[in-house]
């Protein structure tokens, strides 16, 4: 049975006599289409082609094999109950017609009409059966509509469920990303706060070390006793170690002044191989993998060597005897950072230092960049190595990524910005002209720390300079107004009130050609970004370095002297 629309045709099965012709004629006269079937087989075939009602004489069912008809009735869909009208000489009563019970069971929806019958009765019975069949088709349409509605509802439920699942996934992803960003922000804020504290502590330490080392070196000049000389040397060495620590602290806080230039990191790594081998010792095997056509990196060449050496020392300490240290260079393009230590998207040169050591658990990885954090034994490390590496990378415009697995090793990837120009070999600067003892030259020494001024004054006087002192920026300007014989201003950068940058601007406004040499233990890299190295001497300074910087500054001609634009 198909899903075709309701047929208005009546099939008539009366193979003997004139019953088929009479019934068909009566129905046609009532405008009901009727087709006569020759036998039961043809009836089954025509039923497959759709009909509204079947009009069958009882004898055609009693005496024939009705298997095909029974099978067709059984195969009807749930909505269908095909109507049969049976013409019987004895009606449908079981007391008069025992065969009626079997036919009722076989046909299901059956109406018995006793012969002879009035034509109007036949027409009425057939139309009643037709209306019942029509309601079955209407029920089929309702059921189809319900099925379509159910399918549509299921589809909408699936779509809505899919949308909700997608929204939940997106929400979960956003929550995860937010938690990651919040964690990264907290870590960045913690590192920034520690960096600010560290830079301030480094400034104070450098002032203290300037006083300590200055006095120790002055005492060394007059020491004659061997034991006293040995103790002074020990004090000087301890002070120098302290100076190195403060330099590392400034590197972490990104307050050191860098001299970035295009650098071929393949050459840097290759030139460091002997140094790395001597540092690692004979038990550690060193491998270098240098990328072909490596981009030039914009980095301070001295600082990057120190960073690679720091990473190598950390790797050595994490490995047992017989480990492998691998230093690799590559060109990389990075996407969005996954942690605060990583750089923003862009093109970078990567220097990777990997070891086959013990690796680090997650709780250690989250703290490795914090200054003074270390997992080494007391006395084996300061905890500033990775902090210094991160500070250098961030100040240079790059970043650091750590990949580690407990028991397998660690890889620290240092990302450095790509230089826009190729590397160039710069000629060595000409040696500074050496003055014949600085007699007759006057230096205005400006520092708010009286102890630092006293030590510095002693060094300057030993070098042959006349010294005029000022304890503040305002006092410095007053001295310049009253002393016209000043040849150079040695100016502390970090001072209360008017700092070194403010004082330098005022000096430039009064005398553009006045040489200025900054003495600083806390170099604000942004403020002094355009000052060259010859214009800065870092605390705690040694006598030879200070003498060299003073000589260079004093021997510059007005035409070649660089007027340093100090930023506000």
List the structure tokens of 495.
Answer: 């001072």
Residue 560: its pLDDT value, please?
Answer: 46
Residue 565: its pLDDT value, please?
Answer: 44
Q: Which residues pair with 538 in a beta bridge?
A: 520
- Distance, in Å, from the CA atom of 135 to the CA atom of 123, rounded to the nearest integer, reads 18
The verdict on 413 and 265 lying in the same domain is: yes
Q: Is residue 525 part of a domain?
A: yes
The verdict on 113 and 193 lying in the same domain is: no
Q: Is residue 287 part of a domain?
A: yes
Residue 327: its pLDDT value, please?
Answer: 92
List the structure tokens of 98.
Answer: 């025992």
The verdict on 151 and 179 lying in the same domain is: yes
The verdict on 351 and 396 lying in the same domain is: yes
List the structure tokens of 510.
Answer: 């009064």
Burial class of 262 by CB neighbour count within 10 A (0 to 12, 13 to 18, 19+): middle
The verdict on 92 and 14 lying in the same domain is: yes
- Close Cβ partners of 485 (under 8 Å, ≥ 6 residues apart): 442
pLDDT tens, residue order, the chain (568 aa): 556 667 788 899 888 778 788 888 888 888 888 888 888 888 888 888 878 899 988 888 887 788 888 888 888 888 888 999 988 887 766 667 777 778 888 888 888 888 888 889 889 999 999 998 889 888 888 888 888 899 999 999 999 999 999 999 999 988 888 887 777 677 666 666 666 666 666 667 777 777 787 788 778 777 778 888 888 888 878 777 777 666 655 554 545 566 788 999 999 999 888 878 877 777 788 899 999 999 999 988 878 888 888 888 888 888 866 688 899 999 999 998 888 888 999 999 999 999 988 888 888 887 777 766 665 554 444 445 677 788 888 888 899 999 998 888 899 999 999 988 765 545 544 444 444 455 679 999 999 888 888 888 988 988 899 999 999 999 999 989 888 889 999 998 878 888 888 898 899 888 888 899 988 776 554 555 545 677 888 888 778 888 998 988 888 754 444 444 444 4
User: Residue 538 in contact with residue 520, Cβ under 8 Å?
Assistant: yes
- Distance, in Å, from the CA atom of 256 to the CA atom of 319, rounded to the nearest integer, reads 31
Q: Is residue 245 part of a domain?
A: yes
Q: Which residues pair with 326 in a beta bridge?
A: 287, 354
Q: How far is CA 474 from the centre of its chain?
A: 50
HSE (side-chain half, CA atoms, 13 Å) at 222: 5
Q: Is residue 560 part of a domain?
A: no
- Close Cβ partners of 371 (under 8 Å, ≥ 6 residues apart): 194, 198, 249, 252, 383, 384, 387
Question: Which of left, alpha, beta for 48 (phi over 0: left; psi -120 to 50: alpha)?
Answer: alpha
- Distance, in Å, from the CA atom of 262 to the CA atom of 424, rounded to the nearest integer, reads 7
Q: SS in 3 state form for 117-169?
A: CCHHHHHHHHHHHHHHHHHHHHHHHHHHHHHHHHHHHHHHHHHHHHHHHHHHH
Final residue before a domain boundary, out of 83, 117, 151: 117
For residue 397, what is the domain's CATH number? 3.30.565.10
Burial class of 86 by CB neighbour count within 10 A (0 to 12, 13 to 18, 19+): buried
- Nearest 10 degrees: CA dihedral of 471, 475, 479, 482? -150
Q: Is residue 2 part of a domain?
A: no
The verdict on 459 and 341 lying in the same domain is: no
The helix (H) or strand (E) run that includes residue 85 is strand 84-88
Report the number of distinct structural domains present in the chain. 4
- Close Cβ partners of 205 (under 8 Å, ≥ 6 residues apart): 242, 245, 246, 249, 521
For residue 80, what is the domain's CATH number? 3.40.50.2300
Tell me which long-range contacts 200-205 makes (C-beta under 8 A, separation of at least 24).
200/522, 201/249, 202/246, 202/247, 202/249, 202/250, 202/253, 202/255, 202/521, 202/522, 203/494, 203/521, 203/522, 204/521, 205/242, 205/245, 205/246, 205/249, 205/521
Final residue before a domain boundary, out of 207, 224, 252: 252
Count of Cβ atoms closer than 10 Å to residue 402 Cβ: 17
Q: What would the pLDDT profile of 300-337 be if each residue is shown by its tens digit?
A: 887 888 888 888 888 888 886 668 889 999 999 999 88
The verdict on 402 and 291 lying in the same domain is: yes
- Distance, in Å, from the CA atom of 437 to the CA atom of 247, rounded to the nearest integer, reads 31
User: Residue 498 in contact with residue 475, Cβ under 8 Å?
Assistant: no
The verdict on 232 and 294 lying in the same domain is: no
Q: Is residue 566 part of a domain?
A: no
Helix, strand, coil shares, percent, the chain, to 5: 50, 15, 35
Report the predicted TM-score, pTM, of the whole model to 2 decimal places: 0.46
Q: SS in 3 state form for 515-526?
A: CEEEEECCCCCC
Residue 360: its pLDDT value, please?
Answer: 87
The verdict on 110 and 43 lying in the same domain is: yes
- Distance, in Å, from the CA atom of 469 to the CA atom of 446, rounded to the nearest integer, reads 6
- Distance, in Å, from the CA atom of 382 to the CA atom of 489, rounded to the nearest integer, reads 37
Q: Map tokens 């061997």 to a residue.
A: 226
Domain coverage including residue 221? 142-252
According to DSSP, residue 535 is labeled G
Residue 23: its pLDDT value, please?
Answer: 86
List the structure tokens of 138.
Answer: 């209407």
Q: Is 382 helix (H, G, I), strand (E, B) or coil?
A: coil
Q: Which of 380, 264, 274, 366 is nearest to 318 (CA)?
A: 380
Burial class of 397 by CB neighbour count within 10 A (0 to 12, 13 to 18, 19+): middle
Cα–Cα separations (whole angstroms), residue 482 to 442, 465, 468: 13, 19, 11
The verdict on 267 and 394 lying in the same domain is: yes
- Distance, in Å, from the CA atom of 416 to the CA atom of 399, rounded to the nearest integer, reads 7
Peptide bond into 116 cis (omega under 30): yes
Residue 435: its pLDDT value, please?
Answer: 42
Q: What would the pLDDT profile of 434-482 be if each residue is shown by its tens digit?
A: 444 556 799 999 998 888 888 889 889 888 999 999 999 999 999 898 8
Q: Is residue 291 part of a domain?
A: yes
The verdict on 240 and 276 lying in the same domain is: no
Q: Is residue 146 part of a domain?
A: yes
The verdict on 23 and 54 lying in the same domain is: yes
- Distance, in Å, from the CA atom of 39 to the CA atom of 69, rounded to the nearest integer, reads 12
According to DSSP, residue 533 is labeled G
- Distance, in Å, from the CA atom of 261 to the CA atom of 259, rounded to the nearest integer, reads 7
List the structure tokens of 393.
Answer: 């990378």
């Amino acid at each position: 049975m198909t899903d075709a629309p309701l047929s208005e045709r009546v099939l008539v099965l009366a193979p003997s006599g004139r019953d088929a012709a009479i019934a068909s004629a009566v129905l046609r006269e009532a405008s009901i289409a009727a087709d006569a079937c020759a036998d039961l087989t043809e009836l089954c075939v025509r039923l497959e082609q759709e009909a509204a009602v079947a009009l069958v004489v009882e004898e055609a069912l009693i005496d024939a094999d009705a298997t095909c008809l029974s099978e067709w009735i059984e195969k009807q869909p749930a909505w269908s109950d095909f109507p049969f009208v049976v013409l019987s000489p004895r009606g449908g009563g079981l007391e008069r017609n025992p065969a009626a019970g079997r036919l009722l069971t076989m046909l299901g929806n059956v109406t018995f009409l006793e012969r002879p019958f009035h034509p109007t009765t036949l027409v009425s019975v057939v139309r009643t059966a037709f209306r019942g069949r029509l309601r079955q088709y209407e029920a089929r349409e309702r059921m189809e509509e319900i099925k379509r509605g159910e399918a549509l509802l299921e589809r909408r439920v699936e779509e809505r469920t899919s949308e909700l699942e997608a929204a939940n996934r997106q929400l979960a992803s956003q929550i995860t990303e937010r938690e990651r960003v919040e964690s990264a922000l907290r870590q960045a804020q913690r590192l920034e706060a520690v960096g600010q504290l560290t830079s301030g502590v480094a400034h104070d330490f450098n002032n203290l070390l300037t006083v300590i080392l200055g006095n120790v070196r002055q005492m060394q000049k007059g020491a004659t006793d061997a034991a006293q000389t040995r103790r002074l040397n020990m004090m000087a060495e301890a002070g120098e170690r302290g100076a190195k620590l403060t330099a590392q602290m400034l590197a972490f806080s990104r307050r050191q002044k860098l001299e970035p230039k295009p650098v071929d990191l393949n050459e840097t790594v290759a030139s460091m191989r002997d140094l790395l081998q001597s540092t690692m010792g004979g038990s550690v095997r060193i491998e270098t993998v240098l990328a072909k056509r490596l981009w030039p990196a914009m980095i301070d060449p001295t600082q990057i060597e120190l960073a690679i050496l720091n990473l190598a020392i950390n790797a050595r300490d994490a490995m047992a005897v017989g480990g492998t240290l691998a230093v690799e260079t590559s060109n990389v393009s990075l996407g969005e950072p996954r942690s605060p230590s990583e750089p923003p998207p862009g093109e970078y040169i990567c220097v990777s230092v990997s070891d086959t050591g013990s690796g680090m658990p997650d709780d250690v990885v989250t703290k490795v960049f914090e200054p003074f954090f270390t997992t080494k034994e007391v006395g084996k490390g300061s905890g500033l190595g990775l902090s210094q590496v991160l500070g250098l990378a961030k100040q240079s415009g790059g970043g650091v990524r750590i990949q580690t697995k407990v028991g397998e090793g660690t890889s620290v990837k240092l990302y450095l910005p790509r230089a826009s120009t190729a590397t160039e070999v710069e000629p060595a600067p000409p040696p500074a002209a050496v003055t014949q003892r600085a007699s007759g030259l006057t230096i205005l020494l400006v520092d708010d720390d009286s102890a630092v001024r006293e030590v510095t004054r002693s060094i300057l006087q030993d070098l042959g300079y006349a010294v005029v002192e000022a304890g503040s920026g305002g006092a410095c300007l007053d001295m310049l107004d009253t002393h016209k014989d000043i040849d150079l201003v040695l100016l502390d950068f970090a001072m209360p009130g008017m700092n070194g940058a403010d004082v330098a601007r005022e000096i430039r406004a009064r005398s553009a050609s006045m040489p200025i040499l900054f003495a600083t233990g806390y170099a604000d890299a942004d403020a002094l970004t355009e000052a060259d190295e010859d214009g800065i001497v870092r605390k705690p300074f040694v006598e030879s370095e200070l003498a060299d910087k003073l000589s260079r500054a004093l021997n510059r001609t007005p035409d070649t002297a660089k007027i340093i634009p100090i930023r506000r």
